[in-house]
């Protein structure tokens, strides 16, 4: 916000200096709008088994048509740093058994917004049973 006020002040001073001339000029100001998150998966309470592939995805929009980037977290740890891909696939391991929190962040050129944090539950994979004879 301070940068915005400084830019407007400089533009005002420049406008005053130009006012001595009878010419006219136009100032265009673009206000950045933060990205909006339209959807996020998995849903809260999702259940999955270790060794399965967990797909985390974000549907986001930006009113300024800025290019969006995404970052994905599992249990507060970044599992995929900033990328243009809104889908992240993560193979669950035995270390993930139990309750896990999932979230993502979306950024345009200026602002970062977060999805809500959802909890998923990872179950232990069933043991392979011997074939019946």
User: pLDDT, tens digit, for every residue of 77-93?
Assistant: 999 999 999 999 999 99
Tell me what pLDDT residue 29 has: 82
Tell me what pLDDT residue 14 has: 62
Q: CB neighbours of 100 closer than 8 A, spacing ≥ 6?
A: 74, 75, 119, 120, 121, 122
pTM of the model: 0.74
Tell me what pLDDT residue 118 has: 96
CATH number assigned to the domain with residue range 33-123, chosen from the 4 options 2.40.37.10, 2.60.40.10, 3.30.1490.20, 2.60.120.560: 2.60.40.10
Rounded to the nearest angstrom, the gap between the alpha carbon of residue 15 and the centroid of all alpha carbons in its chain is: 39
Q: Which residues of the chain have pLDDT under 70?
A: 1-22, 129, 131, 133
Q: Residue ranges per domain, the chain?
A: 33-123
C-beta separation of 83 from 45 below 8 A: no
Residue-wise pLDDT tens digits, 12-21: 666 666 555 5
């Amino acid at each position: 916000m301070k940068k915005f006020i400084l830019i407007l002040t400089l533009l005002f001073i420049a406008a005053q200096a130009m006012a001595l001339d009878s010419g006219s000029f136009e100032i265009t100001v673009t206000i950045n709008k933060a990205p909006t998150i339209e959807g996020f998966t998995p849903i809260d309470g999702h259940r999955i088994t270790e060794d399965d592939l967990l797909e985390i995805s974000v549907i986001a929009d930006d009113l300024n048509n800025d290019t969006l980037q995404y970052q994905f977290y599992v249990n507060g740890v970044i599992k995929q740093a900033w990328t243009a891909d809104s889908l992240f696939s993560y193979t669950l391991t035995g270390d993930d058994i139990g309750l896990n929190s999932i979230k993502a962040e979306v950024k345009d050129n200026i602002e970062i917004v977060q999805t809500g944090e959802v909890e998923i539950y990872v179950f232990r994979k069933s043991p392979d049973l011997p074939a019946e004879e």
